[in-house]
Amino acid sequence: MSRAPASTRYALRHATLYRYAAPVDLAAHLLHLTPRNLPGQAVEAVALEVSPVPSYRTEGHDHFGNGVSWLSIEAPHDALEVILEAVVAVGFATPPPSADTPAWEAVRDAASRPEGYLAAEFALPSALAPADPAAGAYAARSFPPGCPVLAGLLDLNARIRRDFTFRPGVTTISTPVAQVLALRAGVCQDFTHLMIAGLRALGLPARYCSGYVRTRPPPGQKRRQGADQSHAWVGCWLGPEHGWVDLDPTNDLVVRDEHVLLGWGRDYADISPVQGILLGGGRQTLEVSVDLVEV
């Protein structure tokens, strides 16, 4: 049986600033910047400010149940600033012992039966996390016949952390999984897409989780403003009895109380924090600052 740990409370601030070389005459934006309320995560307060003030704004939920803000700005502007501030308490349940989870083949098969209807779409390939054969071959080493599904997932999570180097600048968000495999380097989005692609190649449901991870300064140094980052990790299905567990291959962690979840989707494209369509603007620059402070 899983056990819920004591929660950790965070004050979160995520500031996004776009500057445009020429005025934007008209803009429509879709924001995924509202943390989810769900078992293990309670959103105690949240505020989302947009400048300039939108002409139209509405709140709702997308297909996956994530909080979404739709807005349009109909006055000329040369910058867009979006600031999220929230207080979130996090304490996700400890997963069951690996030996108590079913064989990975049983989970694969359950995803195609009625009891797996909520997980089935996450076993299907997507543009940024296809069922890549090379990724599948890499993942398969962690899933010998009859292996308990969580044991295989933990092994794969650790192998990615061990085999790949965190190296910003060598990839983009659209770098194919096959290229990440060849480079053996990338950032959290790359490792997340790689793990998802490998699991999907085996028929196992996996989803892309977007949010934040608490970072700590070196011993004796002050916490750095803006040092915390937007982050990505993998939601893994353990079958209808045990549900989902989140694993962070960048840090080889089981997600418990160091992550704040914004939402999930099939891959990054479903849960990008800020998307937009602009009329005008020309070249643009982007500045992002994230602070996640334990309170």
170 and 106 both lie in a single domain: yes
> Does the residue 51 lie in any domain?
yes
Region 99-113 average pLDDT: 97
| CATH number (domain holding residue 23) | 2.60.40.2250
Region 217-229 average pLDDT: 67
Contact 198, 136 (CB under 8 A): yes
Q: What is the pLDDT of residue 220?
A: 76
4 or 114, which is more confident? 114
Q: What is the pLDDT of residue 3?
A: 44
Residue range of the domain that includes 159: 98-268
Q: What is the pLDDT of residue 163?
A: 97
Is a pLDDT exceeding 90 seen at residue 106? Answer: yes
86 and 180 both lie in a single domain: no
| CATH number (domain holding residue 139) | 3.10.620.30
166 and 241 both lie in a single domain: yes
Region 160-170 average pLDDT: 95
Q: What is the pLDDT of residue 227?
A: 64
What contacts 26, CB < 8 A, 6 or more positions away? 72, 73, 74, 278, 279, 280
